[in-house]
Structure 1
Amino acid sequence: MSASTTRSVTEKSPSTADPPPIDVSIVIPARNEAAYLRGALSSITALDTAYEYEVIVVDGASTDGTRAIAREYGATVLEEDGSSIAVARNLGASRADGEWLAFIDADTRVRADYLTEMLGFVEREGLAAASSRCRMTGPLRAKVMEATINELFPRLASPVLPGFNCVVHHRAFGEVGGFPDVPNEDTAFSRRLGRQYPTAYHPDVLVASSGRRIAADGLTGTLWHYLRLDVGRLRSSRA
């Protein structure tokens, strides 16, 4: 729902009025992320937006200060056993009140206009979900993945929406069953969602994220899978 959309509500006195509807729920899975989480939450605190949002941190049995940092920034903290990042994201979504879900990771930082630009984009284009460009730090293979995300993924028949930077309509997320609990869960989710709903990349929004978790096998597998499935589209887009 756009921040400018007029909402029909029953008038009540200030003492009994309902809280404002939540436009966006920002879901952050985190396990022992004390070294990174503060940066992510600081960037969210600096958001310049008219959208109403909430922040949900799903803690995967951390043994460091992750939960304390999340509470310091006013986030809702949910706890799960750390079984997988897909389980954590799905738990956060199940407790979210927002019409839209924004998934980022604990080592992702967004710019002040992130929510305004991303929600404006999906609403304007009639999309169920979107991602955007990124800048990744870390080893050389992280820069390869950055180039892949920025140049290849948007051209796919069903664009890959990385789990560290994804905005999706809550209803559509539920209808496809959320993130499957499999390796490369975000690519599997993107393919499933893209079969039913339009998705795309915002070309002018940039987030920053760490490339510390990228494994060579995972990168190679992802590239091969989507190149094989979408080689025809890639050829036509370059023609």
Structure 2
Amino acid sequence: MLSIIIPAHDEAALIGATLDALARATTALELPHEVIVVDDASSDRTGDIAAERGARVLRVEHRQIAATRNAGAAVARGDRLLFLDADTLVDTEVLAAAMAALDRGVVGGGCAVRFDGKVRWHERVFTAGVMHMFRWTAIAPGCFLFCTRDAFDRAGGFDEHWYAGEDVAMSRALAAQGTFTILREAVHTSDRKLRTFGVREHLRLAGRFLRHGRGMLASRQHLSLWYAKRRDTK
């Protein structure tokens, strides 16, 4: 069985569409699965919307993405895990490709990512470069990361020392357990980080990372991209 774990904080605007797309894909594939929405300190109807769509809702108060993902994994019953962001839409092709990869014996992987919305040309160039880097380094974007339960446990779960970059650490930990793959198939994810934080702010974040190193990911201080209140969640 596949356990699909969705960390969510104030995602009422988008989680319904995410769960609807997921239901279509799992139904088409006749895939035994469970959906666990980890409602992390939401102040909106995130948990209610998830429950209305049949998801199991786990309420936590972490506001730390690695801990929230691990909380979902701790109650999951499947022998395969998929960590999916609440603003990310899957289709039959990408989900089937992930399951086929696990059938072939890979321990885990990720996929390509496409942004929805009116993404400007320079933003597309920037994000395409980031996606190529992920593929070249065999790092799964955190919006869609799948693995076997056994490999997840042997990797020790997501490293809760990190407030961001936990997907990078997990990708490397899984790759140490066996074959880790990045699928050609893509998910569609919200472009809200580009609307709320433009390319210039992304580059400033990269500059701070170059100055301060990985240690800056160990607190929320410089991580408004993930932890600040969103200015636009349409």
TM range (shorter): 0.7 to 0.9
What percentage of aligned pairs have identical amino acids? Answer: 34
Q: Is the 8 A contact 1:50 1:116 kept in 2?
A: no
Distance apart, 1:132 and its partner CA: 1.1
Paired residue for 1:184, among 156, 160, 165?
165
Paired residue for 1:174, among 130, 145, 153?
153
Paired residue for 2:79, among 85, 88, 99?
99
- SS of the aligned residue for 1:43 comes to helix
Q: Which runs of 5+ in 1 are unaligned?
A: 1-22, 226-239
* CA deviation map 1:54-74 (0-9, x unaligned): 100000111111011000110
Q: Separation in 1 of the partners of 2:16 and 2:149? A: 26
Bigger Rg, structure 1 or 2:
1
Q: Is the 8 A contact 1:128 1:198 kept in 2?
A: yes
Q: Which runs of 5+ in 2 are unaligned?
A: 214-234
| Residues 1:142 and 1:60: Cα distance change in structure 2 (over 3 Å) | farther
Q: Separation in 2 of the partners of 1:50 and 1:162? A: 26
| Residues 1:148 and 1:170: Cα distance change in structure 2 (over 3 Å) | farther
Which stretch shows the higher mean deviation, 188-197 or 208-217? Answer: 208-217
What code does the residue aligned with 1:162 have? P
| Residues 1:111 and 1:150: Cα distance change in structure 2 (over 3 Å) | same
- The count of aligned residue pairs is 198
* CA deviation map 1:138-161 (0-9, x unaligned): 6657535631353222222xx111
Distance apart, 1:130 and its partner CA: 1.3
Residue 10 of structure 2 is matched in structure 1 by 32
TM-score by length of 1: 0.75
| Residues 1:101 and 1:64: Cα distance change in structure 2 (over 3 Å) | same
| Residues 1:109 and 1:35: Cα distance change in structure 2 (over 3 Å) | same
- SS of the aligned residue for 2:92 comes to coil
Residue 151 of structure 1 is matched in structure 2 by 132
Residue 98 of structure 2 is matched in structure 1 by 118
- SS of the aligned residue for 1:178 comes to coil
Q: Separation in 2 of the partners of 1:69 and 1:218? A: 33
Residue 67 of structure 1 is matched in structure 2 by 47
| Residues 1:107 and 1:171: Cα distance change in structure 2 (over 3 Å) | same
Distance apart, 1:51 and its partner CA: 2.1
Distance apart, 1:108 and its partner CA: 0.2
| Residues 1:41 and 1:99: Cα distance change in structure 2 (over 3 Å) | same
What code does the residue aligned with 1:179 have? F
- Please give the residue correspondences for 1:199-210 in structure 2 after superposition, counting only pairs within 5 Å: 199-203=180-184, 205-210=185-190
Q: Is the 8 A contact 2:21 2:91 kept in 1?
A: yes
Q: Separation in 1 of the partners of 2:29 and 2:94? A: 8
Distance apart, 1:119 and its partner CA: 0.6
| Residues 1:78 and 1:113: Cα distance change in structure 2 (over 3 Å) | same
| Residues 1:109 and 1:99: Cα distance change in structure 2 (over 3 Å) | same
- Please give the residue correspondences for 1:10-29 in structure 2 after superposition, counting only pairs within 5 Å: 23-29=1-7
Q: Separation in 2 of the partners of 1:206 and 1:149? A: 14
Higher helix share: 2
Q: Is the 8 A contact 1:51 1:116 kept in 2?
A: no
What code does the residue aligned with 2:52 have? E
Q: Separation in 1 of the partners of 2:175 and 2:99? A: 18
Paired residue for 2:109, among 127, 130, 148?
130
Residue 58 of structure 2 is matched in structure 1 by 78
Q: Is the 8 A contact 2:134 2:141 kept in 1?
A: no
